[in-house]
Amino acid sequence: MAEKVCKSCHRIVEGKVCPVCKESSFSRDWSGYVVIIDPKNSKIAERLGVDKPGRYALRVR
């Protein structure tokens, strides 16, 4: 079964509510992902607008 991704913040989630933005709108149609470990010192996290560590999808449809 494909993992689901929050449509709002692109976090790859397992539960019924996104732990980052508290939204419950998900998509299973996504591609690519990045793991952010240290968002304060990450240029990728800055570009994606991510401020919490975790796995994030690059493209969500």
> How many structural domains is the chain composed of?
1
Q: Which domain CATH number covers 12?
A: 2.20.28.90
User: What does pTM read for this prediction?
Assistant: 0.90
Q: Does 18 carry a binding-site annotation? A: yes
> Amino acid identity of 55?
R
Structural domain of 49: 4-60
Which residue intervals of 1-61 are DSSP H helices?
43-48
pLDDT digits (tens, 9 = 90+) for 4-56: 999 999 999 999 999 999 999 999 999 999 999 999 999 999 999 999 999 99
Q: Tell me if 29 sits within 8 A of 35, measured CB to CB.
A: no
- Confidence check: pLDDT of 1 > 60: no
Rounded Cα–Cα distance for residues 48 and 8 (Å): 12
Q: Is 52 annotated as a binding residue?
A: no
User: Phi, psi (5° rounding) for residue 40?
Assistant: -70, -30
4 assigned binding-site residue: no
Q: Is 3 flagged in the annotation as binding? A: no
- The closest of 9, 5, 61 to 39, measured between CA atoms, is 9
